[in-house]
Amino acid sequence: MKLVLHNYWRSSASHRVRIGLGLKALAYDYVVINIVKKENFGDAYRARNPMGQVPTLEITEDDGTVHAIAQSIPILEYLEERFPEPHILPKDLFLRARARELAEVVNSGIQPHQNLTTMRAVKAVGGDEVVWPKSFIADGLIAFERIARETADTFCVGDQPSIAECCLVPQLLSARRFGVDIAKHELLLAIEERCLALPAFANAAPDRQTDAVT
């Protein structure tokens, strides 16, 4: 089997999947899709991902069959189901649901507002695309922390990183990039620090990618 990740260095959704692949210790080929240059809207990429978003995980099976999966959460859940150890969804059903809940706070509640396509649309109608996402990020992180406090241990839902951290760490990085004050989120910052001490998180960092612009 061969895995190919079509992604962009600064895409938070791509960042999530790189973390997940790292936690599962899975080797993959890294293919750059430059969303700033709108390569994601080209015909070749849309053939794999009709939404024209990153990331897309392409799987080539040993028999030559090729599948493509888009959207970061389904990709992470595919990885969990196909490569269950080490797990990124807890075995306990409540904690499993809680990990998914936290992931969706970021995936559905925050990230769409900071998406490059969204910010381009905001700018096109005369809005301030820099200011636009800040309140959504700030409010989302407040909600995330309140939810996480009920189950947090070393990480958000226990003693090992889950799909929740796959979403949280990229989102905290985005919060800093957009100038959102996150100093009050002591729990989240402590979890982030523990995550970044792990190779899977460190190696997935945007500035460590081959297409990073510094």
| pLDDT digits 0-9 by tens, 125-156 | 999 988 999 999 999 999 999 999 999 999 99
User: Nearest CA to 25 among 73, 87, 99?
Assistant: 87
Q: What is the mean pLDDT of residues 60-76?
A: 98
Looking at beta carbons, which pairs linking 56-62 to residues 24 or more positions away fall under 8 Å? 56/5, 56/6, 56/7, 57/3, 57/4, 57/5, 57/6, 57/17, 57/28, 58/3, 58/4, 58/5, 58/6, 59/1, 59/2, 59/3, 60/1, 60/2, 60/4, 61/1, 62/1
Longest dimension (CA), the chain: 52
Mean pLDDT of 95-117: 97
pLDDT of residue 115: 92
Whole-number pLDDT of residue 214: 79
Torsion of CA 23, 95, 156, 142, to 10 degrees: 130
pLDDT surpassing 90 at residue 158: yes
Residue with tokens 């962009």: 8
| β-strand pairing of 29-32 with 2-7 | parallel
Report domain extents, the chain.
2-85, 93-201
Q: Which CATH architecture has domain 93-201?
A: Up-down Bundle (1.20)
Q: Which CATH number fits domain 2-85: 3.40.50.720, 2.70.70.10, 3.40.30.10, 3.40.50.11030?
A: 3.40.30.10
DSSP code of residue 208: G
Both structure tokens of 84: 């269950």
pLDDT average, residue stretch 55-71: 98
Backbone φ and ψ for 68, nearest 5 degrees, come out as -125, 135
Q: What's the CA angle centered on 116, arms 114 and 121, to 5 degrees?
A: 95
Which residues partner with 59 through β-bridges? 3, 67
Q: How far apart are CA 94 and CA 136, in angstroms?
A: 27
Provide the whole-model pTM.
0.97
Q: How many CA atoms lie within 13 A of 107 on its CB side?
A: 22
Whole-angstrom distance, CA of residue 213 vs CA of residue 10: 9
